Amino acid sequence: MNLRAIHSAIGIAALALLSALGGCKHSQGGSTTTRPVNFPSDNLIGAVPLGQVAGEPARVVTALSIDNPYHDNLQAIQQGKQLYIRMNCAGCHAYNGKGNMGPDLTDTEWRYGGLPIQIYETIRDGRPQGMPAWGAALPPDEIWKLVAYIQSLGGTVSISDYEHARQGDQPGEQVAPEAQADAQFAPTTPIFPTPIPAKAQTPSSSPTPAKAGEPKP
Amino acid sequence: MWDRVVRFLRAHENARYLKFACLALLIAASSSCSRPSTPVQDSHAYDPGSGSLTGATLNPAPNDPPGEWRSQARDYANTRYSTLDQINTSNVSRLRVAWTFSDGTLNGHEAAPLVVDNTMYVVTPFPDILYALDLTRAGEPIKWTFKPNPAPMAKGKACCDTVTRGVAYANGKLIYNLLDDHTVAVDAKTGKEVWRTKMGNVETGETMTMAPFVVGNKVLVGDSGGEMGVWGWIAALDVDSGKELWRAYSTGSDQQVRIGDDFKPFYERMKGKDLGTSTWPADMWKHGAGSVWGWISYDPELKLIYYGTSNPSPRVPDQRPGDNLWTSTIFARDVDTGMARWAYQTTPHDRWDYDAVNEDILMDLPINGQVRKVLVHLDRNAYGYTIDRVTGEVLQAAPFAYQNWSTGFDMKTGMPIVDPDKEPHPNVKLVNVCPPDIGGKDWQPSAASPRTGLVYADIFNICMDVTDNEASYIPSSPFDGMDMNRYPAPGGNLGEFIAWNPVTGKKVWGIKEIYMTMSGVLATAGDVVFYGTTDGWFRAVDARSGKVLWSQKLGSGIIGQPITYLGLDHRQYIAISAGVGGAATVRADVIALRPYDFPAGGNTLYVFSIDGDSMSSGPGQMTSKDNVSTTRPETGNGTQH
Amino acid sequence: MNPPLALLFNKLPMLLAVRVEPPMAYPHTFGPAVDPITRLGWGLGIISLLVIVIIGILLLGGVLRKRVASSAADPHQLAVRRDAGGMAWIYVGGGISALVLVACMAWTLLVTAEVTRLPSAPGLTVQVTASQWWWSLRYLNAKPSNIFTTANEIHIPVGQPVRFELASADVIHSFWIPQLAGKMDVIPGQTNVMWLQADQPGTYRGQCAAYCGRQHAHMALFIVADTPQDFAAWQDLQLTETIMPTTEENRRGERIFQTHCAACHTIRGMNPAGILGPDLSHLMTRSTIAAGLLANTPGNLASWIANPESVKPGTRMPAQILSGPDLAAVTSYLNTLH
């Protein structure tokens, strides 16, 4: 071998090493998510009615197109499960979600609505029969992760099924022609969202239910 | 042997006398096997039997009228024993439903009705409605209804269904606890509220489910919330005004636990200053639970009340190293001052949710030739204790149900010997620990009979797999951490009804049941004991032999407490609620074990009598305006021993 | 000069500029749990160097040795000398090598045994739970009421062996304080036990040594070795009651903490007491926050609380939406936690 070849070999090896070092970016890691920037605003969340819209038969309530930004995000589901245990959700709703002091979260029965946005609201605002309000202790990011975990349990209502689920319809059932949603009343523009005044964020504006972790002074 | 007989017969083939003899023998045998065709007319003819198997004597004070049932436990000693014997072993199989009452609610029905002055008082689970039924009229019409309107928030804080375990009667008032931490007194005649006292804050996760206990002019109450990180306590209120007279906490400094100079525990490990804080990591005693949600008994001579405290919080032992006094502890306190006289911790540093809240039956037992004043306590940890109630010394401790968490009991130190393989640690699945959190026996109260000297109890035969998860303390949410899966212990049966000898620490007999047995027990002078199963069978058993004499299927599972009383018509009645719930339905895993569908909820009070006779059914258009006849009926004579 | 080489010389200064930061300098150790290893390391290193030098000299000698010419140039005779002197080299050389190797092996085994065995009953046991990306510490004590929890900064008494029980809350981490002990992995589902001892007072920096996620590089911890008196004082301080806020702003800050932070963080004596994040009791006794990433100053604290994602991307601490005055109040309150 001549000297020139030896020099070339060393040079190539060094080059390869340096380029490898230079290309070594700060690793992204496999344990976090790209945090979505746009969470549904509180305006929008409050606009979803729990009950039926008075006087409007079988409408499609379009605000329900707001899905969980973390839907099907495996890492968010994993972190949501960690929160489910550490925030004591498992203490009331059981470690397998089947319910105990609190209702079953894996079945399709939802007292206050089974859409992701309605479950978000339940967790954030609490409910009268003992569900605490977590909105002060957990920012929206964390609550959406919890919703993602609950969605992974299988009982929640998907957005496209909302109107049907609310009327007790099951997939694959027969529909008498007279029971079809009345096309004459189908809106061309969505009824919701109607902008409503932003709900006050301070806890003192909602006297019931009690916030999580805060006994009355 | 057989060919000898054949040869004999062949040899005497023609002997007619033999054939007649055989025939006569057969007739005699069959006639003695037939049932008596006429009912027993006179209860004085009833044979009391061969006497007590243990030599136990019980004090049935206070001297309530035998035909009434004025407190949940019947008397201060918590015997749940009635001296009525109109219903006895010879006629109990003729019990039939006499009348029923639906209270309009759901959830677990754990209480017993009270009968005072020909009025029956029935309390419901949440929303804690109280009914007064007029037993002087046909159809037992509702005299008044009391609706206290407890806060709905309390429903989400009750670990084991929104139950109440009964009301107490004192000075013409019914006193009971609402789920939302209020104790309320209601006038027995009018149904109007007399006083209401707020005892705690339901927002912290604290509720109240226990039946108050009256001693003289004091009523004793305690809180619930062993899974919610509450601060456990027992308090005495004045019966007439509802004012709190004293409160003793279950953790904290000696002053908070009301431990003073006359505190004399028997065992060394319970002697020391401020053990209610020093046996916990920094500050964890403040939400260490030790709630008082079970039964209280009272010795009128010693003037001491006896009760137990719940498990420590959280249910993850590695988060709280130390003995965790004074949780899972039996206390003896002076009833007037609340100062503790002695204490005994049944499960030090409890790792499995073994509360000490089960009833303490006060008996006088001959032990080693000497009569001792004892209390008999079948604990959650599956040990049946006989404890000297003057000093707190354990005289006898033996398992009454299947258990593997301990390998023995050291009588010298009064400590169970824990199997280290059965200690749970966070994030590790521990398999086959027996009994599970609900124990070898839960709050369902046992009864004692002075005639047999035995204690009768519904027990569990269940094991669990458990994984602990460290818990955050966030008031209003559980402070728990136990992830469990429960299943039957060896034998396959979930429940059993046993007769327990408190002197020898042995089971005398037992009746296995497929389903859990979670009802209270009633013992009577007719030598019949009653219990019910969670799939709805109500049974009467011979108190001596353990033979099941009678069964009746009710509309729902039974977790209530049976009572007996004498109606205005001089008939003896047995009353029991059927409405399953409580801890029996807390976890879906236990329900999944059953071969058939677990019964649905219910809310019916069933009242039984011999042949079902009562003033609630008969010919003609009966109405609730008809008075109950006080003339003697054909059967029964209204007297008792 | 041809291009590859030019490239190499251009990059060389950058390579040389990378240096080992002094706190992590593992060759300089301070405790009996690791001093034997250091000695062994140096010893084996020197022996290896000696071997290289000796072999190098012998090789050079062999290469440069003049060939011995034979006096009678017999064409049928091979120019090889086969006398016994050649084999002697083999036997002696092999024998010395074998002896040295066996000695090294024995030394290694002895050192391994010494550092893994607890020399005497440990005076202190600390339970360490590693999470992404911080360390929870629980100080055990025979008296239960002296058991307390803290985070990220371990104080130990000088001159006493300290036992560590290592557990993980999520993934595999590794517990490594190079100047005091070797690495011990922290594996979920099992508890690994190790010990160490500091012979001199001072602050020793440690690091998570098993890749555990995005912020693995910023999962530091500090072991502060105190004199026994200082350690007792620190322990007593950790057990004292949390100071109650006195000013209006601090009270407001405490309320904000209770509402927005306490579901994850415990300050002993306050409700709620969450365990998802580090225990913050007596926070001001620690010299760093965010697991050694930031110095514990009010400015750093405020920016950490305001936007943890920008400081430590991927961190599990969420950004609470606090207004300016609220943030100031809670930071002010936290600064009272001495």
pLDDT band at B6 (very low <50, low <70, confident <90, very high): low
pLDDT tens-digit series, residues B72-97:
999 999 999 999 999 999 999 999 99
Residues 6+ apart with CB under 8 A from B416: B346, B347, B381, B383, B397, B406, B408, B409, B410
Residue listed under structure tokens 């990059």: C11
pLDDT band at B479 (very low <50, low <70, confident <90, very high): very high
Residue pair B224/B178 in contact (Cβ under 8 Å)? The answer is: no
Q: Which residues of A fall within a CB distance of 8 Å from C16?
A: none
Average pLDDT over residues B136-158: 95
Residues 6+ apart with CB under 8 A from B70: B62, B64, B114, B115, B116, B169
pLDDT tens-digit series, residues B185-225:
999 999 999 999 999 999 999 999 999 999 999 999 999 99
Contact flag C2-A82 (C-beta cutoff 8 Å): no
Give A175 to chain C, closest Cα distance, Å.
47
How is residue B77 written in tokens? Answer: 């000693």
Residues 6+ apart with CB under 8 A from C121: none
Quote the pTM value: 0.85
Cα–Cα distance measured from residue A27 to residue C134, given in angstroms and rounded to the nearest whole number: 19
Q: How many CB atoms lie within 10 A of CB C179?
A: 24
Q: Which residues of B fall within a CB distance of 8 Å from C273?
A: 472-474
Contact flag B477-A137 (C-beta cutoff 8 Å): no
Asked casually if ipTM beats, i.e. exceeds, 0.90, the reply is no
pLDDT tens-digit series, residues B299-323:
999 999 999 999 999 999 999 999 9
Interface B-C: count of C-beta contacts within 8 A: 54
Specify whether B227 is catalytic. Answer: yes
Average pLDDT over residues B537-560: 96
Contact flag C260-A136 (C-beta cutoff 8 Å): yes
Which candidate in B277, B283, B313 is best for mutational testing of the C interface (most C CBs within 10 A)? B283
Selected catalytic residue, list B75, B353, B355, B569:
B353
Strands B370-378 and B383-388: antiparallel
Contact flag C213-A215 (C-beta cutoff 8 Å): no
pLDDT value of residue B36: 37
Chains sharing 3 or more CB pairs under 8 A with chain A: B, C
Specify whether B359 is catalytic. Answer: no
Pick out chain C residues at pLDDT < 50.
13-20
Contact flag B427-C140 (C-beta cutoff 8 Å): no
pLDDT value of residue B152: 95
Contact flag A87-B472 (C-beta cutoff 8 Å): yes
Selecting from C11, C263, C264 the residue whose C-beta is nearest the C-beta of A18 gives C11
pLDDT band at B440 (very low <50, low <70, confident <90, very high): very high
Q: Does B428 touch chain C (CB under 8 A)?
A: yes
Cα–Cα distance measured from residue B483 to residue C80, given in angstroms and rounded to the nearest whole number: 82
What Cα–Cα distance (Å) separates residue B424 from each residue in B280, C136, C180?
18, 21, 33
How is residue B483 written in tokens? Answer: 């992830």
Q: Does A217 touch chain B (CB under 8 A)?
A: no
Phi, psi of A118 (to 5 degrees): -75, -35
pLDDT value of residue A4: 73
Give C147 to chain B, closest Cα distance, Å.
5
Higher pLDDT among residues A155 and B512, named by residue: B512
Specify whether B353 is catalytic. Answer: yes
Cα–Cα distance measured from residue C130 to residue C171, given in angstroms and rounded to the nearest whole number: 8
How is residue B556 written in tokens? Answer: 């729902």
Residue pair C175/C206 in contact (Cβ under 8 Å)? The answer is: yes
Contact flag C214-A32 (C-beta cutoff 8 Å): yes
Give B221 to chain C, closest Cα distance, Å.
26
Residues 6+ apart with CB under 8 A from B355: B226, B293, B294, B308, B309, B310, B311, B328, B380, B439
pLDDT value of residue A67: 80
pLDDT value of residue C78: 66
The residue of chain B with its CA nearest to that of C169 is: B427
Give A30 to chain C, closest Cα distance, Å.
6
Give A212 to chain C, closest Cα distance, Å.
8
R_g over Cα of chain B: 26
Per-residue pLDDT of chain A (217 residues; tens, 9 = 90+): 577 767 777 767 666 666 555 444 433 333 444 455 567 776 666 666 777 777 665 555 555 567 888 988 999 999 999 999 999 999 999 999 988 889 999 998 898 888 888 899 999 999 999 999 999 999 999 999 999 999 999 988 887 777 777 778 877 888 888 777 654 444 444 444 444 444 433 333 334 444 555 444 4
Q: Minimal CA–CA distance to B165: which of B212, B204, B223?
A: B212
Average pLDDT over residues B109-116: 97
pLDDT value of residue B164: 97
Which candidate in B201, B324, B349, B472 is best for mutational testing of the C interface (most C CBs within 10 A)? B472
Residue pair B239/B219 in contact (Cβ under 8 Å)? The answer is: yes
Cα–Cα distance measured from residue B628 to residue B474, given in angstroms and rounded to the nearest whole number: 56
Q: Label each residue of chain C as H, E or C.
A: CCHHHHHHHHHHHHHHHCCCCHHHCCCCCCCCCCHHHHHHHHHHHHHHHHHHHHHHHHHHHHHHCCCCCCCCCCCCCCCCCCCHHHHHHHHHHHHHHHHHHHHHHHHHHHHHHHHHCCCCCCCEEEEEEEECCEEEEEECCCCHHHCEEEECEEEEECCCCEEEEEEECCCCEEEECCCCCCCEEECCCCCEEEEECCCCCEEEEEEECCCCCCCHHHCEEEEEEECHHHHHHHHHHHHCCCCCCCCHHHHHHHHHHHHHCCCCCCCCCCCCECCCCCCCCCHHHCCEECCCCEECCHHHHHHHHHCHHHHCCCCCCCCCCCCHHHHHHHHHHHCCCC
pLDDT value of residue A177: 82
Tell me the residue type at B365.
L
